[in-house]
């Protein structure tokens, strides 16, 4: 995967240029450490029977990490680090929390489990990218455990 130009949100999984395998609830694998999140309905929230539709690309070290970020299933995450080399070049030199925090237009948020109230992740949004960190208190050197990519369609 040399770039991300192949991904357009709301594309049926059957039209993606990769072999897709279902791995979990709405989670599909396309390459090692590369996943897509798919839903049965289209962009208008209609079930037109052409789905599932890919809504986001997720770069993650494991299915457990994807389950944590997408479904807030903390117990499935084994704490592995993301190999950042699986992400095509996006113009970043510093993948640390401190470096990403300095990007123009960055916004920060946190996610908590709706079931248990437990902290799930701290996230930095930059354009079409969401960089996710497992830690609530960050020193600055940490790198994301998951990166989401979802451009506007």
Q: Which residue has the tokens 């960089």?
A: 131
Give the H or E element holding residue 64: helix 63-71
pTM above 0.85, yes or no: yes
User: How does residue 2 score in pLDDT terms, banded at 50, 70 and 90?
Assistant: confident
At residue 64, the pLDDT reads: 97
- The encoded tokens of residue 9 equal 């949100």
Helix (H, G, I), strand (E, B) or coil at 104: coil
Q: Compute CA distances 62 → 16, 32, 44, 111, 148, whole Å.
A: 21, 9, 31, 19, 14
Mean pLDDT confidence for 59-64: 98
């Amino acid at each position: 995967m040399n770039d991300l130009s192949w991904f357009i949100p709301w594309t049926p999984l059957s039209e993606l240029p990769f072999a897709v395998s279902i791995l979990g609830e709405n989670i599909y694998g396309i390459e090692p450490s590369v996943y897509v999140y798919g839903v049965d309905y289209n962009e208008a929230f209609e079930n037109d029977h052409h789905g599932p539709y890919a809504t986001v690309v997720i770069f993650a070290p494991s299915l457990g990490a994807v389950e944590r970020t997408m479904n807030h299933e903390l117990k499935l995450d084994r704490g592995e680090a993301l190999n950042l080399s699986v992400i095509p070049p996006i113009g970043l030199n510093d993948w640390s929390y401190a470096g990403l925090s300095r990007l123009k237009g960055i916004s920060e948020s946190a996610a908590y489990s709706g079931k248990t109230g437990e902290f799930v992740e701290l996230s930095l949004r930059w354009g079409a990218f969401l960089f996710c960190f497992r830690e609530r208190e960050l020193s600055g050197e940490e790198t994301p455990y998951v990166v989401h990519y979802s451009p506007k369609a």
